[in-house]
Amino acid sequence: MPQDVPTSRPGEVPLAATTEEKAPAILRSLLRVFRLRLVYSGDDLLNPPVLFTPSRGATPMGREVRSGIALPRDARASRLHATLHTDALGRLRVVDEKSRNGTYVNGRRIEEALLDDGDVLSIGDSYLVVRAEPEPQADAPVPSLLGDAPSMCTLRAAIHRVGPTEVTVLLLAESGCGKEVVARAVHDASKRRGPFVAVNCSAIPESLAESQLFGHLANAFSGAVARPGLFRAADGGTLFLDEVGDLPQGVQPKLLRVLQDRMVLPVGATTPVACDVRIVAATNRDLTADIAAHRFRGDLFARLSEFPLGIAPLRERREDVLPLLDHALGRPRARISSALAEALLLHPWPFNVREVFALAAQLRIRGGDAGVLDLELVADRLGPPSSAAPAAPPTTTSDAHASSDPALASEEDASNAADEREPPPDRAQLEELLRTHRGVVADIARATRRSRKQIYRWIAHHDLDVQRFRR
């Protein structure tokens, strides 16, 4: 349920709070609670994820635990697989309970490890994303923005607050994060009756930028036919200026004037025309660096960034990866294999949500009528996670992100390098491995003490179809 956040009206001075009123609010803003989202278990993804909040002390995890985090659908999870421990400082530690198939943090096998915000915890064929999130967590209904990550909840709550206002919004995000979707959500929340008009500033030729944005009169230049321009096309609605950092420098002061006066001067005109437009701009550039390099006007940046909104990249909200893929695949869809789920969760996602939709299209085409979508279908695009080392012996460490022993790290690197150079077994040997392990690449990797990446290379080398060994 959305939580109402008290705000002041523009120009209104908020009531002063007493010291007693301020202190709890400050403490609440600093409070972080560890929660885990189960995004995959057994043989398919979970949408929405199942939320767990570990209790103080010890929280058991496994296939047959009576209290704690039960994974009844996961045949590869031990009855008591691992235990979560929360200490007096609120830190979360996972301890493997001598499980049959091991416990992994971010693709590395551990005996025990401190968990951090954003870690991917793997138990059998179950995957959980760890979050240290604010308590309480604000959210608001924005149907077009999918995701359960705290950063997405915060974004939806911010849109709910800023949408009905008239302030200019600046979206700051990497390419592929869905800036236009967020801009449309701001427009929808504004209740403006005019249209939503989007323009990519990087695609506007410098010689035509002023005319396209502000319009021109007939005969303003040779052969010109009167055009209203994008600002007036969005009159009464919202104009979305995507990649505003690429706007030609000659147009920047004119845009600033329009934002200040709410009037446009078409090319060839002498009298400005009133224009009621709400501006939402977006960029994936560091505009402060562009200002220092004199590529972008500081006064224009100040006007555009009345309310900046950051959109987290997908690698910072991994709990949303599988639900987004589920949405992109549509219905009906085949089940997702454990190997594919792991690779998706550990992939760095350099192209963000756009890459998820591209990968979903590839899975739909290559998967055809397959009952299970496996990693091999997108191994050339996605590949097994390079950080995963499921066959490595378990280590005891307080940090699952890096080895505390430089010599051990060097030894692991050398082992991985040897794994990369190893020639494949012959076709008959590999087929026997696939038959023995029913085509489960993870089991072959464990049996041969090789990485999943190496097993997939062998399969590709011999051009084998793993699906026929799973029947």
Same domain, 120 and 183: no
Same domain, 294 and 366: no
pLDDT tens digits for range 372-409: 999 989 988 875 444 433 333 344 444 444 433 333 34
Residue 299 sits in the same domain as residue 337: no
Decide if 169 is inside a domain: yes
Are 197 and 276 contained in the same domain? yes
pLDDT band at 423 (very low <50, low <70, confident <90, very high): low
If asked whether residues 126 and 167 sit together in one domain, one would say no
* Res 242 pLDDT > 60: yes
Average the pLDDT over 100-110 and give the result: 92
Report the C-alpha gap between 187 and 232 in whole angstroms: 16
User: Are residues 287 and 188 part of one domain?
Assistant: yes
184 SS3 class: helix
- d(C-alpha 344, C-alpha 66), whole Å: 30
Confidence grade of residue 219 (pLDDT, cut at 50, 70, 90)? low
Q: How many domains does the chain have?
A: 3
DSSP state of 138: P
Q: What is the pLDDT of residue 387?
A: 40
Residue 407 belongs to some domain of the structure: yes
Average pLDDT over the chain, rounded to whole?
A: 82
399 and 264, same structural domain? no
Looking at the structure, do residues 438 and 421 belong to the same domain, yes or no?
yes
Name the residue range of residue 121's domain.
30-134
Boundary residue ending a domain (310, 341, 363): 310
User: Model pTM?
Assistant: 0.74
* H or E element, residue 230: helix 229-233
- φ, ψ of residue 31 in degrees (nearest 5): -75, 130
Whether pLDDT at 72 is above 70: yes
Secondary structure class of 449 (helix, strand, coil): coil
Q: Which is higher by pLDDT, 32 or 50?
A: 50
Residue 160 to residues 257, 315, 453, Cα–Cα distance (Å): 28, 25, 44
Q: Is 278 a domain residue?
A: yes
E strand or H helix at 171, and its extent? strand 169-172
Band of residue 328 on the pLDDT scale cut at 50, 70, 90? very high
Is position 263 within any domain? yes
**Confidence tier at 216 by pLDDT (50, 70, 90):** low
Q: Which pair of tokens denotes residue 465?
A: 């179809």
Question: Crossing angle for the helix pair 352-367 and 321-329, nearest 10 degrees?
Answer: 50
Per the CB < 8 A criterion, the answer to whether 140 and 425 are in contact is no
Longest dimension (CA), the chain: 82
Distance CA(216)–CA(116), nearest Å, equals: 56
- For residue 341, which of 64, 156, 81, 76 has the smallest C-alpha distance? 76
What would the pLDDT profile of 362-375 be if each residue is shown by its tens digit? Answer: 999 998 888 899 99
Cis peptide before 272 (omega within 30 of 0): no
Window from 82-91, 94-103, 338-347, 410-419 with minimum mean pLDDT: 410-419
Task: Kindly state whether residue 16 falls inside one of the protein's structural domains.
Answer: no
Instruction: Tell me if 19 is assigned to some domain.
Output: no
Alpha helix stretches (DSSP H) within 31-168:
150-162
State yes or no: pLDDT of 225 exceeds 90. Answer: no
**Amino acid occupying residue 276:** D
Provide mean pLDDT across the span 170-188.
Answer: 96
Q: What is the arithmetic mean of pLDDT over 115-143?
A: 92
Query: What pLDDT score does 268 carry?
Result: 67
Same domain, 118 and 170: no
Q: 433 lies in a domain?
A: yes
Confirm if 291 and 239 have CB atoms less than 8 A apart. no
Worst-scoring range by mean pLDDT, 5-19, 115-129, 334-348?
Answer: 5-19
Higher pLDDT, 387 or 317: 317
Mean pLDDT of 351-355: 95
On whether both 116 and 235 belong to a single domain, the answer is no
DSSP 245: G
pLDDT of residue 25 exceeding 50, the answer is: no
Whether 128 and 192 share a structural domain: no
Pairing of strands 108-115, 92-96: antiparallel
Residue 250 has a pLDDT of 87
- Is the pLDDT at 21 greater than 80? The verdict is no
- Is residue 452, in this structure, part of any structural domain at all? yes
CATH code of the domain covering residue 61: 2.60.200.20
Whether residue 256 sits in one domain with residue 167: yes
Q: Residue by residue, what is the 3-state secondary structure of 8-42?
A: CCCCCCCCCCCHHHHHHHHHHHHCEEEEEEEEEEC
Residue closest to 139 by CA, chosen among 116, 119, 155 = 155
Which amino acid would we find at residue 21?
A: E
Distance of CA 104 to the CA centre of its chain: 21
